[in-house]
Amino acid sequence: MRIIQGIVSSQPPILPTATTIDERIDAFIAPLTRAVENLILFPLPIPGSEAQVPFVVLWLVVAALIFTVYFRLINLRGLAHGFRLVRGDHDDPRAAGEVTHFQALATALSGTVGLGNIAGVAIAVSVGGPGAVVWMILAGFLGMSSKFVECTLGVKYRRVHADGSVSGGPMWYLQRGLADRGPGLARLGKVCAVVFAVFCIGGSFGGANMFQSNQSYQQVLAVTGGADSWFADKGWLFGLILAFFVALVIIGGIRSIARVTSKIVPLMAAIYVSAGLIVIGVHIDQVPAAFALMFSSALGVDSVAGGALGVLAIGFQRAAFSSEAGIGSAAIAHSAVQTDEPVSEGLVALYEPFIDTIVVCTITALVIIISGAYTAGGEMGGVELTSQAFSTVIGWFPYLLAVAVILFAYSTMLAWAYYGQKCFAFLFGDSKAVANLYKALFLMFVVLGASLQLGAVIGFSDAMILAMAFPNLLGIYFLLPTVRRELDRYWIKVKAGTLPNFRNR
């Protein structure tokens, strides 16, 4: 997820292991990569500004805005009830599904909370100024509505198998949901579902796997001596070790993945947020000025990045790449929840962009601004700038950051292994042999990611992940009336107090 995570310009230099192989693979696939990236990330000029914004970002943001209006600010109205669902007030162990509301949320968050929050915010501030953060927050707020819609649909149109396992996500609600809308849309639904599955599988092998493995390896080198490290020429060994730990979890399926991510994600998020609050606490007197700077910059007062519209474009882009709202990946994890009410999981999903973009990214931005790293960072960007900002108060934070990067990358790989497997099963059958084949391929790419420098391959897979938004959102537009009916029916139950409550039993 180099593009999505937002650290393309700040990743550590990759050591020249297997250089000849790397160069041959890059030379072979680079032309295709450039063509696909140029198509999906086609830049559109913003009138009245020199800035440009990729078309896919507009596709995501416009959809999020439409969903927010169509469902009358569900991203605000649903938060309180969503919190009660997350804490387990209405968990129903008798319902179909494999994981609780909290575990489904943690699994989905593991695929989004990570390097984008650590490095993506730093890039946004470096390029667009502090004002980009304001637009990131707004885009994250709108993205909450996208998560609500796609995760509600994921549960409504999921398949529950005889053994109790569940298959859901865009590939199923695109196919089954559009077929329900009439024969005229059935063919479109099938095409969108297949295209989505192909993009998701490609992305799961590359940016969601190989790049995560590679970045983990680079962080290990960074804290163990760099080029002089014992690991310097042993990327393959690191990859094997990492693949072993990934295998221990993904072999057990979504229940195993959820158990691990429900521990890793809250722990690392708590550590990272606590460290940020410590830095903010030390500079608490500068917080009002930092917010004032953000809002003035958001309006283009400092003329950074082509004025207000340029800053807006950068903020929206970073938020879209960080939260993945509208891409559809999270709906695959949320579909496994134990519930008979599709809307309940849509309300739980509201907390993904809220935590990922609004809370964590805002804390990161405040640390970068009030610590002085924003103005004193020089040419630093991404992870380096964030690390420097935290280390002004917490000297040993770079070591903690290295651990955080590895664990966040690990949890991202676990989530996307599940996403890719479900899409693989959609295309080739839901048998154990098919599942085992996908897992074996996924683990092989873990090793390759740590061993090789495959820039073009990763760039191609990044573009595939973003491309998932096109078939996903196209189909969702036709399914909005279905979601509204589900929401209206659910609110009637909430107001009548007829939802089952197992928390106090």
DSSP for 152-164 reads HHHHHT-EE-TTS
- According to the model, what pLDDT value does residue 300 have? 65
Residue by residue, what is the 3-state secondary structure of 462-483? HHHHHHCHHHHHHHHHHHHHHH
pTM: 0.86
pLDDT higher than 70, residue 142: yes
Q: What is the crossing angle of helices 287-298 and 361-370, to 10°?
A: 110
- According to the model, what pLDDT value does residue 67 have? 97
Q: How far apart are CA 225 and CA 215, in angstroms?
A: 16
- Cβ atoms of residues 99 and 258 within 8 Å: yes
DSSP secondary structure, 219-243, as one string: HHHHHHTGGGSTTTT-HHHHHHHHH
What is the sign of the dihedral through the CA atoms of 243, 244, 246 and 247? positive
Classify 135 as helix, strand or coil: helix
Q: What is the pLDDT of residues 112-128, one digit of tens each?
A: 776 667 777 777 777 77
Using the structure block, give the residue that is written with the tokens 């929206």: 316
- Stretch 52-60: mean pLDDT, rounded? 83
Q: How far apart are CA 208 and CA 410, in angstroms?
A: 10
Q: How far apart are CA 130 and CA 29, in angstroms?
A: 37
Q: What is the pLDDT of residues 209-218, one digit of tens each?
A: 888 888 778 7
Q: What is the pLDDT of residues 437-486, one digit of tens each?
A: 999 999 998 888 887 766 666 667 677 888 899 999 999 999 999 999 99
Q: What is the crossing angle of helices 455-467 and 183-205, to 10°?
A: 150
- According to the model, what pLDDT value does residue 122 have? 77
Q: How far apart are CA 113 and CA 98, in angstroms?
A: 22
Length of the chain as a residue count: 505
| Least confidently predicted of 228-232, 416-420, 464-468 | 228-232
- Cβ atoms of residues 362 and 186 within 8 Å: no
- According to the model, what pLDDT value does residue 145 have? 95
CATH T-level assignment (fold) for domain 2-493: Amino acid/polyamine transporter I (1.20.1740)
The single-letter DSSP state of residue 47 is: T
Q: How far apart are CA 447 and CA 443, in angstroms?
A: 7
- Cβ atoms of residues 5 and 321 within 8 Å: yes
Classify 99 as helix, strand or coil: strand
